[in-house]
């Protein structure tokens, strides 16, 4: 039985004050996996206290590796001698990002046995690019009884082309290629900040990676990697979520520890919608509203395009904007689950394939709704902040996967929200 906790949010309060952004979930997850590539201790700072991070800790511990919190945000990982190369179904099914240990296991132990990650609410989420990449590096891959088994004598560098700039596949192959013989070139690679951070972390370990942030990443294999000390960057999606929360409530919120460059597309779209985004310092922005919220169209795209992980939150904002907005989801095939719940709150949203057409309404009204995935759940919180009455959101465990203390941070900004 999943955690029955729910949120109760009474809408109507403009948010005011300052919010501090925590470490980036998706950067922490891939960097934690990369620690397996060395037999030396790694120390990671600014690691967010999130259930997805706890899941990755469980996976790494299952492999026989010592992991412990040095303080509330510092992880100590000691992958000295481990030999278990299997990540079991019950762990991988709770978090598909566990699949990111496959590259390091193949590189370090020359074999891996990982449960095939299932799909999730936002799509089938296959891993064919990952497997094709490992095969290009010489690994033998078989799928049986829901597990993917990989074995290789020696990984040998190769040229790999991705049909789509997959974030996870770029990360997995990049990690495996660091210890391959010779050079690997990944073409049509993902350019996301999390890929840049992972490559920077690997280079600090002694890897030889160039082209990070471009669509061609080159990795020259090395003999071994050493343990390093690294600080995780702030979470751009958490930051974008609070920017939109400030915008939707018509408040004035200072958001600290953000990298505005990594949020360029979100900032541009908020400004087009009539929201003021002022740079206070280089890692701080202040969000405030002028008057009405204008409807704008967005198309989610791989980085540096508008992030799919902010699509749901932006849909909440557009549901009370002045006019009609078209939101096109180009990254995942089924990422509009939150539209149904927003409709229950009075939003006027039509879904046509990859397009959603949102006709702004004057106001939303509270209703019992259910989070079905991490970012869709966040979108319902944002809608609850402005809906008339008290909105009840169930299955908030989805939201806890990616947001540190979301109800506490929102309460500090003046929101009426409680977890029951
Ligand atoms: C990462 O997922 C993130 N997760 C997702 O964040 C994010 O939404 C996504 O990138 C896109 O930015 C982590 O980093 C842990 P993809 P990932 O591979 O790597 C298709 C969140 O909210 N594809 O870039 O799985 C895939 O089906 C999560 O924190 C293949 O077809 O995303 C999708 O349509 C949700 N075959 C598209 O590519 C493959 O082998 C993009 O997926 C791999 C992917």
Asked whether the predicted pLDDT for residue 72 surpasses 60, the reply is: yes
134/1 Cα distance (integer angstroms): 36
The minimum-distance atom of ligand 1 relative to the CA of 100 is 15
Higher per-residue confidence, 166 vs 333: 166
Sort 261 into a burial class: Cβ within 10 Å, 0-12 / 13-18 / 19+.
exposed
Q: What is the pLDDT of residue 261?
A: 94
Q: What is the pLDDT of residue 280?
A: 86
Residues 291-322: pLDDT tens digits? 799 999 999 999 999 999 999 999 999 999 99
Higher per-residue confidence, 119 vs 182: 182
Residues 377-402: pLDDT tens digits? 999 999 999 999 999 999 999 999 99
Domain boundary among 231, 265, 289: 231
Both structure tokens of 401: 């996967």
Residue 120 is a catalytic residue:
yes
pLDDT exceeding 90 applies to what percent of the chain? 91
366 and 389 Cβ atoms separated by less than 8 Å:
yes
In a domain, 2, yes or no: no
In a domain, 1, yes or no: no
The C-alpha torsion from 171 through 177 and 178 to 181, rounded to 10°, is: 180
Ligand 1 pocket test target in 123, 164, 232, 376 with most atoms within 8 Å of CB: 164
In a domain, 364, yes or no: yes
Domain boundary among 189, 208, 231: 231
pTM value surpassing 0.75: yes
Higher per-residue confidence, 145 vs 100: 100
Residues 186 and 292 in one domain: no
Which of these, 173, 167, 160, lies nearest to 26 by C-alpha position?
A: 167
* 75 Cβ neighbours under 8 A, 6+ residues apart: 32, 43, 44, 47, 57, 67, 68, 69
Residues 308 and 181 in one domain: no
Q: How confident is the model at residue 3 (pLDDT cuts 50, 70, 90)?
A: confident
Residues 150 and 91 in one domain: yes
Count: domains in the chain: 2
Domain boundary among 186, 201, 231: 231
342 and 349 Cβ atoms separated by less than 8 Å:
yes
Q: What is the pLDDT of residue 36?
A: 97
Q: 326: helix, coil or strand? A: strand
Cis upstream peptide for 387 (omega within 30°): no
Catalytic, out of 35, 42, 120, 266:
120
Residues 221 and 244 in one domain: no
Q: What is the extent of the structural domain holding 298?
A: 7-22+234-419
Residue of the nearest CA to atom 17 in ligand 1?
168
- The mean pLDDT value of the chain amounts to 96
Task: Say which CATH number the domain at 239 has.
Answer: 3.65.10.10
Residues 391 and 408 in one domain: yes
Residues 293 and 197 in one domain: no
Radius of gyration of the chain (CA): 21
Say how many residues make up the chain. 420
Both structure tokens of 358: 């949102």
Q: What is the pLDDT of residue 122?
A: 78
């Amino acid at each position: 039985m999943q955690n029955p906790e729910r949120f109760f949010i009474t809408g109507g309060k403009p948010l005011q004050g300052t919010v501090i952004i925590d470490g980036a979930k998706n950067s922490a997850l891939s960097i934690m996996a990369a620690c397996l590539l060395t037999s030396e201790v790694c120390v990671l700072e600014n690691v967010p206290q999130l259930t997805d991070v706890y899941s990755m800790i469980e996976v790494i511990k299952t492999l026989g590796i010592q992991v412990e919190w040095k303080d509330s945000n510092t992880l100590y990982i000691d992958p000295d001698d481990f030999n278990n190369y299997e990540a079991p179904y019950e762990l991988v099914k709770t978090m598909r990002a566990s699949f990111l240990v496959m590259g390091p296991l193949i590189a370090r132990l020359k074999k891996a046995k990982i449960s095939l990650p299932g799909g999730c609410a936002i799509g089938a989420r296959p891993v064919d690019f990952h497997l094709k990449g490992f095969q290009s590096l010489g690994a033998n891959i078989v799928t049986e009884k829901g597990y993917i088994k990989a074995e290789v004598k020696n990984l040998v560098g190769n040229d790999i082309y991705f049909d789509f700039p997959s974030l996870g596949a770029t990360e997995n192959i990049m990690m495996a290629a660091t210890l391959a013989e010779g050079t690997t070139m990944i073409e049509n690679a993902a350019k996301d900040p999390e890929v840049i951070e992972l490559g920077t972390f690997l280079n600090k370990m002694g890897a030889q990676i160039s082209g990070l942030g471009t669509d061609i990443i080159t990795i020259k294999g090395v003999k071994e990697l050493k343990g390093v000390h690294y600080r995780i960057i702030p979470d751009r999606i958490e930051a974008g979520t609070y920017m939109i929360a400030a915008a939707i409530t018509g408040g004035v919120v200072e958001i600290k520890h953000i990298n505005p460059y990594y949020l360029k597309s979100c900032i541009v779209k908020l400004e087009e919608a009539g929201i003021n985004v002022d740079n206070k310092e280089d890692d701080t922005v202040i969000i405030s509203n002028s008057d009405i919220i204008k409807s704008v169209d967005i198309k989610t795209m791989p980085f540096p395009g508008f992030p799919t992980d902010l699509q749901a939150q932006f849909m909440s904002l557009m549901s009370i904007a002045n006019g009609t907005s078209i939101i096109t989801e180009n990254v995942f095939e089924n990422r509009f689950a939150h539209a149904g719940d927003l409709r229950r709150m009075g939003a006027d949203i039509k879904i046509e394939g990859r397009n959603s057409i949102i006709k702004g309404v004057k106001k939303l009204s509270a209703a019992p709704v259910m989070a079905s995935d991490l970012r869709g759940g966040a979108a319902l919180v944002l809608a609850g902040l402005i809906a008339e009455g008290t909105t009840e959101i169930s299955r908030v465990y989805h939201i806890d996967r990616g947001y540190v203390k979301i109800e506490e941070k929102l309460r500090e900004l003046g929101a009426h929200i409680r977890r029951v």
